[in-house]
Chains A and B, each alone.
Chain A
Amino acid sequence: MALAELLASTPSEPGVPITSARESDRAHEEFRLITELAALVPGGCLRPGSTVGIGGGPGQTSLLLQLLAGPMEQGRWGGVIGLPELGAQAGVEQGVPLNHLALIPDPGDRWLDVTAALLDSVELVVLRLPRSGSTRARCRPSDARRLLARARQRHSVLILVDPHDWPEQPDLLFTPAAVRWYGIADGYGALRSQSLTVQVSGRRIGGRPRQAELLVGASEHLTDGIQRAG
């Protein structure tokens, strides 16, 4: 069935939008980060068509959610590939709206096709390369460049979790540097809020990495307390 193959191989979306310089500025604004993270990045926004890495370590998942929260609260769609253990409840608490979120927990060996399809259609695409046995899948440099070209063309952002497996250097690299928890003590209290120190490095940052501290889960706790007290 030659026709079916033709269908499968044609680029999937007709009519790639051609944007003027001003429009691409506006597109920029669509990826505005939450205040604390915005202070770390030139312009305060993720750039459409760029790649962002999230380094490993305690606090990695919260950092990912914080990164998604800003743009997704403004209505951007998020697709998360290869993170079956992501806690949706934490996502909601950290400002990620579920009605714009799709999860592809286990793409298996179709991860490349799935990522390409999502970059076509969803603004924020989170990818962790799937594990096959004990080793992670590898991305060939040529495939990585094709995905990047797609992201640039469709104005989407590719967020790589554990980017050291990735053949290319991401444009921005966010790393959770330290985590401190508050509210819990020796046998009483409970986890209340988390201070997360984030480091950013990358091409757009210049020589020295920048650093900021996020307070995660604090505001809700405070308003909760105020409501109860009132």
Chain B
Amino acid sequence: MRSAALWFAHWPITAAGLCLADPVVVVEGGVVTVCSPGAYQHGVRIGQRRREAKSHSPDLAVLATDPYRDAQAFEAIVTTLLVAVPRLEVSEPGLCTVPVAGPSRYYGGERELTTHLLNLWPESSGQTPRIGIADSRFGAYCAAQTARERTGEIVPTGRTQEFLAPFPISTLGIEELTTLSRRLGIHTLGQFAALPTRAVLSRFGSSAALSHALARGIDPTPLAIHQPTQELTLAVELDPPAERVDIATFTAKPLVGEFMELLTQRGLACTQLRVDLHTEHAEENTRQWRASPVFDSETILERIRWQLAGWLGSTDADVAMPSAGISLIRITADEVAGSADLQVSLWGEMSAADRRAVRGLDRVRGLLGSAGVFTVLLGGGRGPSDRVHYVPWGKPTPTIDPPMPWPGQIPAPSPAVLHSNPLPVDVFGAAGPVAVTARGDVTERPVRLELGNGKVHTITAWAGPWLTDEHWWEADSHRRFARFQLLTSDSNGSQQAHLCLVQRNSWLIEATYD
């Protein structure tokens, strides 16, 4: 999707109301994490110890990391931006993306859109976004990083991969991939993008396949990201309404847990999240958030906290503060992906063995395609093969009938072998072939089982019939049949038990209790 990225460089410093030209750093755990251009000129670098940074620039202002402050201040930016464009996604405070298609038509072109957006923040405001436009969100973000301050960088349609080619592989921000690729002599996104997708998938696994799509300048589709078919949404009402960020966040905690469970049950992972906040006075605040690669409960809670802080705690005059406490919090998954692909990043508690297995199965999928590897789910149903659902590895879990006691179900134990092609057999009693009457009675006691290959087994015990009348309301798929368990022994006295199906007086071995 063609997107524009707005990037406010060194946002935590701007958020604190300080000027980027002054020597300022943000410090976390005693180490510089953000460094203003002013400080950079004095020789301060990211990763330096606080003491060392101070020695380069004696009048250095040192800020502590404060995600709330960053989020709160960014709310004013979002409010300003939403006047100009209808929809935007916040990746993190300081970075957001806008779908370009609509707005660029409205403003008469991408160049005009860029100019219009840049003019929202006059030079005097001290806040100047860098704007990049490209065919994918990642491409737009990279373009924004190289954009000059007052012009923006527009990558022509279809040229994003080319544009990204010279960027180093570390741009993707995945350390493991960077090290591994460098060892193989891959240093740039261009080299990485030139590898065949299949090779990347089978060698590096699906998280790298995602990076591969990014490097090729497309929004990652291999993950089958899609709009959920059912509304995946949950809300919690706050009674009494909460006026403080921490109280509201605390109330949202179980909601987030429930939401994650809802997704997990369906085998989905959320890639784009919408958070709605309502007040008692029917004021509303809605924001869309995007995570990379997916949201877990912690990151969802963090986005809710950011949004609450932005709305309730804003000091900016442009942001209309709510007049009452928060009475409702709703979270909705706007975009989801099948989670088997993302399991590793989704469930932090996966063991090393689980990760290893997921990687290996990804690799097998790379060899055979997704119709080659399956996991199994059990659902409801009468026959043994009705209950088994094979889910291709990496596909979202389908909705299936729950595994409940079904009328007409054969009791446990279940047969260990389900014949994919049921074997036609003949069953004889003392007088002749055994049949089942319309009322469900056996015409005769079965004593002999003849297999197609001429082998004959003696039936030593039998049970049934279990009658089934399936889909009687539909003429086409209506099936009426009976099931039997037959215990046979061959000439050596070895026992074998079969599950047989009788339909219109022909017998089939459907499964074997092997």
Give complex CA distance A60, B75 in Å.
Answer: 65
Given A77-B357, A187-B445, decide whether A8 and B415 contact each other with a Cβ distance below 8 A.
Answer: no
Q: Which of B195, B367, B375, B419 contacts A102 (CB 8 A)?
A: B375
Q: Is the CB of B495 within 8 A of A181?
A: yes
A98:B495 contact, CB within 8 angstroms: no
- B419 and A8 contact, CB distance less than 8 A: no
Nearest chain A CB to B452's CB is how many angstroms away?
Answer: 15
Q: A3-B185, A123-B353 known; A87 and B415 CB under 8 Å?
A: yes
Asked if A178 lies at the interface with its beta carbon under 8 angstroms from chain B, I say: yes
Does residue A114 face the partner (Cβ distance < 8 Å to B)? Answer: yes
Known: A7-B184, A84-B420, A88-B376. A58 touches B463 (CB 8 A): no
A114: min CB distance to chain B, Å = 5
Residue B107 CB within 8 A of the other chain: no
CB distance from B282 to the nearest CB of A (A): 45
**Contacting residues, chain B, for A217 (C-beta < 8 A):** 412-413
Say whether A88 contacts B461, CB under 8 Å: no
Contact A59 B185 (CB under 8 A): no
Listed stretches A38-46, A104-112, A126-134; interface member: A104-112
Residue of B199, B364, B445, B495 with most partner-chain A CB within 10 A: B364
Report if A193-B413 is in contact (Cβ < 8 Å); known contacts: A85-B418, A107-B372, A181-B487.
yes
- Residue pair A113, B367 in contact (C-beta under 8 Å): yes
Minimum CB distance partner of B486 in chain A: A184
The answer to whether A77 touches B494, judged by C-beta atoms less than 8 angstroms apart, is no
Say yes or no: is A25 at the interface (Cβ < 8 Å to chain B). Answer: no
B183-202 with Cβ < 8 A to chain A:
184-186, 191, 194-196, 199-200, 202
For residue B301, CB closer than 8 A to chain A, the reply is no
Question: Chain A contacts of B430 at CB under 8 A?
Answer: none
Contact of B413 among A100, A104, A113, A194 (CB under 8 A): A194
- A75 CB to nearest chain B CB (Å): 7
Q: Is the CB of A90 within 8 A of B357?
A: no
Q: Does the CB pair B359–A121 fall under 8 Å?
A: yes
Would you give the shortest CB distance from B274 to chain A, in whole angstroms? 30
Q: Could you tell me if A58 and B368 are in contact, using CB atoms closer than 8 angstroms? A: no
Q: For the complex, is B456 an interface residue (Cβ under 8 Å from A)?
A: no
Residues of chain A within 8 A (CB-CB) of B445 are: 186-187
Shortest distance from the beta carbon of B353 to any chain A beta carbon, whole Å:
6
The dominant DSSP class at the B interface is: mixed
Q: Are A8 and B199 in contact (CB under 8 A)?
A: yes
B419 CB contacts on chain A under 8 angstroms: 85
Q: Mark A63-104, 1 if CB is under 8 A from B, else 0.
A: 001000000000111010000111111111110001111111
Per the bound structure, the CA–CA distance linking A188 and B487 in Å amounts to 12
Taken residue by residue from 348 to 360, chain B's Cβ proximity to chain A (1 for < 8 Å, 0 otherwise) reads as 0001011011011
B363 near A121 with CB under 8 A, answer: yes
Structural contact, A120 and B360, CB atoms closer than 8 A: yes
In the assembled complex, B84 has its CB within 8 A of some CB on chain A: no
Contacts of A101 in B (CB 8 A): 375-376
Chain B residues near A102 (CB, 8 Å)? Answer: 357, 361, 364, 373-375, 393
Q: Determine the distance from Cα of A224 to Cα of B413 in the docked complex, in whole angstroms.
A: 12
> Which residues of A have CB within 8 Å of B33?
none
Question: In residues 383-424 of chain B, which contact A (Cβ within 8 Å)?
Answer: 384, 387-388, 390, 393, 410-420
Quick one: which of A198-230 are within 8 Å of B by CB?
A: 216-217, 220-221, 224
CA–CA, A121 to B360, complex, Å?
5
Q: Is residue B497 contacting chain A, with contact meaning CB distance below 8 A?
A: yes
Contacting A3 at CB < 8 Å: which of B184, B375, B415, B417?
B184
Q: Are B463 and A122 in contact (CB under 8 A)?
A: no
Closest A residue by C-beta to B492:
A178
Q: Please give the distance in Å from B67's CB to the nearest CB on chain A.
A: 34
**How near does chain B come to A55, taking the closest CB pair, in angstroms?**
13
B232-272: contact bitstring with A at CB < 8 Å (1 yes, 0 no)? 00000000000000000000000000000000000000000
Q: A12 in the interface, Cβ–Cβ < 8 Å?
A: yes
CB pair B196–A1 under 8 Å, yes or no, is yes
| New A-B contacts (17) at CB < 8 Å, excluding given A181-B461, A186-B461 | A1-B196, A3-B191, A3-B195, A7-B199, A87-B384, A87-B415, A89-B387, A91-B416, A98-B376, A107-B372, A108-B368, A185-B461, A188-B463, A191-B485, A194-B413, A194-B497, A221-B412
Chain B contacts to A: CB under 8 angstroms: 180, 184-186, 191, 194-196, 199-200, 202-203, 351, 353-354, 356-357, 359-361, 363-364, 367-368, 372-378, 384, 387-388, 390, 393, 410-420, 442, 445, 461-463, 485, 487, 494-497, 511, 513-514
Interface residue ranges, A against B (CB under 8 Å): 1, 3-4, 6-8, 10, 12-14, 57-62, 65, 75-77, 79, 84-94, 98-108, 110, 113-114, 117-118, 120-123, 178-181, 184-194, 216-217, 220-221, 224
